[in-house]
């Protein structure tokens, strides 16, 4: 079984993240797509239909807002409502599933979609409360700090501060959510405990988060670059051939946007899951540093063997 409670440095945090996905990746993504796959399909369809409706009107040179919406106002409004609801549910599952997965590894519980659905339903309300609290209480504070660090760019020192602050923000929110869901701690206590975990091993946490984030951004950029490159190549060839841009690009644009959106959604989930699992290992490492769970379990095993 994968060892969660373990003291880790930057290299072991990254290597253990890779090892976890090597051993658990198939089960992890299988359960996720069974649970979240229908919502992902709804998101893809809604975004594609909205994009197709909007860009088809744009290519027809309808600059009047009423002409753009027209008889499709109710249809577009319905899609937007469905999109918002599906996005909320999708986000709750996407951000909560990795936490529950690691918790089930800790408790040596079999991974089944029905179990995860039951667990997600039980914490859905807490997840929404956490999101609202973070959006209205924590996020404004982080924005103010980021604004100050941007001003400090003019004295050079602001550049590294921005990287440190962004990494700290990602870790602080992620580890707080782990504490909030895992131990059902109160909102402010969760952020307090997460702050203590980061402070106890600050540079390891920040360095790991920056490295993983940069890797994720590079991979995301490469994935998005491929369909976008095809679109711009087609645009360039259409201009050279004298082909009507509207006739050539209207269906192509909708297709490329749809493909880009589907690929980006799937890639963003996979990469976001990697980041959340990585932050989870920081959380469990922090708990090990604080209470030495691994040493305690080893003593228990020795005692049980002697008996």
Tens-place pLDDT, residues 159-176: 888 889 999 999 999 999
Check pLDDT > 60 for residue 93: yes
- Round the average pLDDT of the chain to a whole number and report it: 82
Per-residue confidence band for 76, with pLDDT thresholds at 50, 70 and 90: confident
User: Which among 96, 122, 97 has a CA at the least distance from the CA of 30?
Assistant: 97
Q: For the residues 125-133, what does the mean pLDDT come to?
A: 93
Closest by CA position to 29, among listed 272, 215, 304, 281: 272
Contact 5, 107 (CB under 8 A): no
In the chain, what is the straight-line distance between the N-terminal and C-terminal CA atoms, in Å? 23
* pLDDT recorded at residue 148: 81
Q: Which residue has the higher pLDDT, 272 or 179?
A: 179
pLDDT of residue 244: 52
Residue 103: inside a domain, yes or no? Answer: yes
* Residue range 205-225: mean pLDDT, rounded: 88
pLDDT above 80 for 16 = yes
Nearest Cα to 160, choosing from 215, 100, 206, 101? 206
C-alpha R_g of the chain: 23
141 belongs to a structural domain: yes
Average pLDDT over residues 65-89: 75
Q: Domain containing 199: what range?
A: 10-298
Alpha helices in the chain, H assignment, sequence order: 10-59, 65-69, 73-106, 113-133, 139-151, 158-182, 187-200, 202-241, 245-291, 293-306
Q: What is the DSSP code string of 17-55?
A: HHHHHHHHHHHHHHHHHHHHHHHHHHHHHHHHHHHHHHH
Residue 282 lies in a domain: yes
Across residues 66-86, what is the average pLDDT? 74
Q: Count the Cβ atoms, other than its own, within 10 Å of residue 115.
A: 14
Q: Are 294 and 3 in contact (CB under 8 A)?
A: yes
Q: Report whether 198 contacts 168 (CB < 8 A).
A: yes
Confidence of residue 286 (pLDDT cuts 50, 70, 90): very high
Q: CA nearest 169: which of 134, 127, 212?
A: 134
Alpha carbon 59 to its chain's center: 34
pTM score: 0.84
Tokens of 208: 């790991």
Q: Extract the tokens encoding 259.
A: 């493909």
Q: Which secondary-structure segment (H or E) carries 156?
A: none
Q: Quick count: other Cβ atoms within 10 Å of Cβ 145?
A: 15
Assigned domain for 1 exists: no
Q: How far is CA 259 from CA 44, 158, 256, 282, 293, in A?
A: 9, 38, 5, 35, 46
Residue 304 falls within a domain, yes or no? no
Residue 305 lies in a domain: no
Tokens, residue 11: 């290299």
239 within 8 A of 245, measured Cβ to Cβ: yes
Residue-level pLDDT at 303 = 47
Average pLDDT over residues 52-62: 61
Question: By percentage, how much of the chain surpasses pLDDT 90?
Answer: 46
The whole-number pLDDT of residue 267 equals 81
Looking at the structure of the chain, the number of domains it has is 1
Phi then psi dihedrals of residue 49, to 5 deg: -65, -40
- Cα distance between residue 220 and residue 144, in whole Å: 28
Residue 165 lies inside a defined structural domain of this protein: yes
**Higher pLDDT pick, 146 / 32:** 32
Residue 223 lies in a domain: yes
């Amino acid at each position: 079984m994968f060892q969660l409670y373990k003291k880790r440095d930057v290299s072991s945090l990254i290597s253990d993240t890779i090892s976890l996905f090597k051993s658990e990746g198939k089960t992890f993504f299988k359960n996720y797509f069974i649970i979240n796959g229908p919502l992902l399909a709804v998101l893809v369809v809604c975004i594609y239909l909205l994009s197709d409706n909007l860009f088809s009107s744009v290519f027809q040179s309808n600059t009047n807002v009423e002409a753009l919406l027209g008889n499709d106002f109710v249809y577009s409004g319905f899609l937007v409502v469905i999109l918002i609801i599906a996005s909320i549910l999708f986000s709750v599952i996407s951000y909560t599933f990795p936490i529950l997965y690691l918790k089930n590894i800790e408790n040596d519980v079999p991974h089944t979609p029905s179990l995860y659905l039951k667990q997600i339903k039980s914490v859905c309300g807490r997840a929404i409360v956490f999101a609202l609290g973070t959006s209205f209480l924590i996020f404004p504070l982080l924005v103010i700090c980021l604004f100050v660090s941007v001003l400090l760019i003019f004295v050079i020192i602001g550049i590294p501060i921005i990287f440190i602050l962004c990494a700290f923000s990602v870790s602080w929110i992620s580890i707080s959510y782990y504490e909030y869901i895992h131990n059902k701690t109160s909102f402010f206590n969760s952020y307090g405990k997460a702050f203590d975990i980061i402070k106890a091993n600050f540079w390891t946490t920040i360095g790991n988060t920056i490295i993983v984030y940069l890797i994720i951004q590079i991979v995301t950029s490469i994935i998005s670059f491929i369909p976008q490159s095809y679109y711009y190549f087609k645009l360039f060839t259409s201009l050279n051939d004298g082909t009507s841009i509207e006739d050539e690009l209207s269906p192509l644009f909708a297709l490329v946007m749809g493909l880009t959106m589907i690929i980006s959604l799937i890639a963003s989930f996979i990469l976001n899951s990697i980041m959340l699992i990585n932050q989870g290992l920081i959380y469990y490492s922090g708990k090990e540093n604080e209470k030495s769970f691994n040493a305690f379990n080893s003593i228990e095993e020795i005692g049980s063997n002697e008996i």
